[in-house]
Structure 1
Amino acid sequence: MKTERRHDIDWLRVIAIALLLMYHIAIIFQPWAMFIAFIRSDEMSTALWQPMTMLNVWRIPILFYVSGMGVYFAMRKRSSLALIKERARRILVPFLFGFLAITPLHMFVFQDYYNMGLSYYPHMGHLWFLGNIFVYVLICLPVFYAVKNNKASRLIAVFNKLIKNPIGLLSVNILFIAEVVWLQPKPFSMYAETLHGFMLGLFAFLLGFLFMNSGKVFWKTIAKWKWGYLFLAVVLYIIRFKMFATEGLPYITVIEMNSWIFSIFGFCYRYLNKPSRLLSYLSTAAYPVYIIHMIVMYLAAKFILPFHFPAFLSFVLITLVTFAGCYLIYEFIIRRVFWLRPLFGLKLKPTKLKMNSKEDIMINLD
């Protein structure tokens, strides 16, 4: 079976994770950082947080969309049981390992920084995302294989007809509006370990699969109307920022969220769907880097913050050290120690970087 290589989705996942790291670093400079167990700088900056208020409504949902798209590729040649086994290897094993061995490490740094007694505290932390994804696979599996085996062809035909139209595509917001009206999340961007985050992620995950299943239908729509979605997102963001001090009406926020996401998909599809050896490397590295970035970030903060540099300079330094540290750990430890690779979602043996490899698609998107 011939599978189209989607370099734009690879890039999107890499960029989204890079932005997520910068978002987490910006939290260090906010007065409420300690309330969510982040090391807090004495030099704070609301200016650093202003762009993050735009980012925080779509930074996690877009990864759920991409994860749903990845499952579409992963199940092309797999039975239900084979897919569950593959997802367990790729997601459940790193989640459990991270729960027991990774998240306690950055809590040790937090406890040490604030002169607390060191205690072993296994918890999901930032890895809650992986737990959600594995559960979504189990929940959505019957739907996915019904779609794959053409058992819901009439409903899929209606869905594909709907998303051909730019206004019709926006109608998927009905799912998200129903969720926020039901749960009334405050704040909207509190996704981690909440029912709001679980339901929003489930809808995005399911739609990501259905968008990929639609073939060119979804991609033609967003490619043609990317500027319109961007305009709508910017207008709604300005209204939210100016009128509601960043935390707007949730049923309007979901429209802004998906407008950002659709415009980003459109621009990536138009400009980033190109092969690159660098992309092949970064796409494989993105998952392990996501798993380890918190411990590296906390260590960077522990050693840089005591110098009391201005907030922006400290932000830049912590960002550089975090990215460099994650690269070094990935390249010289995780990537090269064969028994560590499965614990970070990688195969036992590294795959050669081939720009046109079908197997690369499976690795990079799932």
Structure 2
Amino acid sequence: MPDRRYDLDWIRVGAFFLLILYHVGMFYVPWDWHVKSPHPVEALELAMFLTNPWRLTLLFLVSGAATRFMADKVSVGKLTGARVARLLPPLLFAMAVIVPPQSYYQVVEYIAAHPGTSLTVDHFWVRYITASGHWCSPDGCLITPTWNHMWFVAYLLFYTLVLAGLLLVWRRLGAHIQAAAETVLRGPGLILWPVLFLGLLRATLYPRFGETHALIGDHYVHAVSGSAFLLGFGLAKSDLLRRRLIAARWPALALAVAAYLGWASYAFVYRNDTPIPSDGLRMAMRLVHPLDAWCSIVAILGFGAKHLNRGGPALRYLTLGVFPFYLVHQTLIVVMAHNLAKLGLPQPLEATILIVLTFAGCFATYEIVRRVPGLRILFGLKGQPAAEASRPPAFA
């Protein structure tokens, strides 16, 4: 196998771009989020369900694959140091500088919706950073500092540190996971076993723990995301699994579409728990959801391995840029969406402007920070000289 999988690079870029669109959608759907459109669109939920079951699981899997390529080249100490240097400064910087506007506008919108409240945003950043805001409602309190969308980076750093500890005592961990995956994920098992595993987690851990993104006590998310990270670490260099994924891409796509139709219909019809679904239907959906998630991932990996196996300048540029994109995109969305909503524009026009400005802001941010050495470190660009900024890095 080559030292780099261009298909996984393209998939990672595409997944992050879809994530940006997903977070734009969060402004418009009725689901709880930091800021909300005054005119929610319930039907948009059906589009959100297209990526909801698998988008982050796929990103953790691809991140695990990237870690394998790096781990096989350097010592465990260098791997750990490189990943900490890549992920920890952006995480801390984002929590202190990038994320606070999200919390600010969240409080602003709550105050606007509750005129009699005693909450204020006076001296917001100082109160945010010192955890002294006391921004509480009957539904709970806003705990700060917070990482909001940066939970993905925090979890990725945590999984990398755990993996480094495992590699210290089991240096050939990747090869053993690869061998086990090649044995188990063959024939119908390529679909069956992961779906049953994810279904078991969905039926046992999810009802009890849900998804919190708080790192501590987030057992369901750790079970899914940590497993995906390790699986990616194992399958990264397996040509056998790559060929199996290519062969399974069309059946997986068909199953993914069918499962999506079932899951999206169920989630939309019972979105307000009225009527209350039967226990049998609820249990069935705990298998349909993972069927949708895993078959979508298999289809994406299969089509990617078949058709996205070339690099080039565009991929080098985007591979380096998507991490800064991820850092700033949600804050851009929150700030611009809150202020665009005041203009009273037709909603399709407003959403188009929001999408265009978000991507423009991401590209502008990347073009600025890649030229400033100190900022490159804070945005996960590893502090390389400006002359090397166009080289393809090992992705996070």
Instruction: State TM-score, norm by structure 2.
Output: 0.81
Please give the per-residue CA displacement for 1:89-109, whole angstroms capped at 9, x wherever unaligned. Answer: 111221122122221132234
Q: Cα deviations across residues 227-265 of structure 1 (Å, max 9, x unaligned)? A: 000101111111122345377622331121010011011
- Are the structure 2 counterparts of residues 230 and 145 from structure 1 closer, same or farther at C-alpha, using a change threshold of 3 Å? farther
Q: Does 1:126 align with 2:149?
A: yes
Which 4+ residue blocks in structure 1 deviate beyond 6 angstroms?
A: none
Corresponding position of 1:149: 172
Larger Rg: 2
Counterpart pick for 1:261 among 256, 273, 297: 297
Any conservation in 1 of the 2:22–2:48 contact (CA below 8 Å)? yes
- C-alpha distance in structure 1 between counterparts of 2:241 and 2:311, whole Å: 21
1:230 matched to 2:260: no
Amino acid in the other structure paired with 2:395:
L
Asked if 2 retains the 8 angstrom alpha-carbon contact of 1:48 and 1:312, the reply is no
The answer as to 2:224 corresponding to 1:200 is yes
Alignment partner of 1:327 out of 363, 375, 391: 363
Residues 285-323 of structure 1, C-alpha deviations (whole Å, 9 max, x = no match): 000110111221122213311122233322211111111
The residue aligned with 2:311 is 275
CA distance in 2, matches of 1:182, 1:251: 12
Cα distance in 1 between the residues matched to 2:173 and 2:181: 14
From 187, 194, 213, the equivalent of 1:172 is 194
Distance 2:331 2:172 in 1: 43
Partners in 2 of 1:191 and 1:18 — Cα distance?
23
Offset of residue 143 of structure 1: 4.3
Query: Which of 332, 340, 345 matches 1:304?
Result: 340
- After the TM superposition, which residues 329-348 of structure 1 pair with which residues of structure 2 at under 5 Å, given as runs? 329-332=365-368, 334-348=369-383
Q: Structure 1: which amino acid aligns with 2:194?
A: V
Q: 1:256 to 1:23 in 2, by over 3 A?
A: same
Shift of 1:53: 1.1
Who is 2:121 aligned against?
A: 117
1:235-254 maps to which residues of 2 (within 5 A)? 235-245=258-268, 249-254=285-290
Change (3 A) 1:142 1:165: farther
Q: Distance in 1 between matches of 2:65 and 2:230?
A: 9
Which residue is equivalent to 2:351?
315
- Give distance in 1, aligned partners of 2:317 and 2:261: 37
1:168 deviation in Å?
Answer: 3.6
**Matching residue's letter, 1:183:** L
For 2:221 and 2:321, the matched residues in 1 are separated by: 25
Cα distance in 1 for residues equivalent to 2:394 and 2:186: 27
How many Å apart are 1:352 and its aligned residue? 4.9
Partner of 1:182: 204
CA distance in 1, matches of 2:325, 2:174: 39
Deviation at 1:151, TM superposition (A): 9.5
Structure 1: gaps spanning 5 or more residues: 355-359
Deviation of 1:208 (Å)? 0.8
CA RMSD of aligned residues (A): 2.5
- The change in CA–CA distance for 1:224 and 1:145 in structure 2 (over 3 A counts) is farther
1:50/1:312 CA distance change after superposition, 3 Å: farther
CA distance in 2, matches of 1:309, 1:341: 37
| Residue 65 (str. 1) matches residue 61 (str. 2) | yes
Could you tell me how far 1:49 is from its partner in structure 2?
2.4
Cα distance change of structure 1 residues 335 and 185 upon mapping to structure 2, 3 Å threshold:
farther
User: What is the alpha-carbon distance in structure 2 between the residues aligned to residue 27 and residue 187 of structure 1?
Assistant: 23
Comparing 104-113 and 257-266, the one that deviates more:
104-113
Which residue does the alignment assign to 1:294?
330
Find the aligned partners of 1:191 and 1:221 in 2 and give their Cα distance: 34
Mark the runs of 5 or more structure 2 residues left unpaired by the alignment. 113-119, 129-143, 272-281
Q: 1:211: which partner in 2?
A: 235
Distance 1:160-1:295 versus aligned 2 partners, 3 A rule:
same
Name the SS of the counterpart of 1:365 in structure 2: coil
Question: 1:187 Cα deviation (Å)?
Answer: 10
Q: Comparing 249-258 with 128-137, which one deviates more in the overlay?
A: 249-258
For residue 135 of structure 1, what is the amino acid of its counterpart? Answer: F
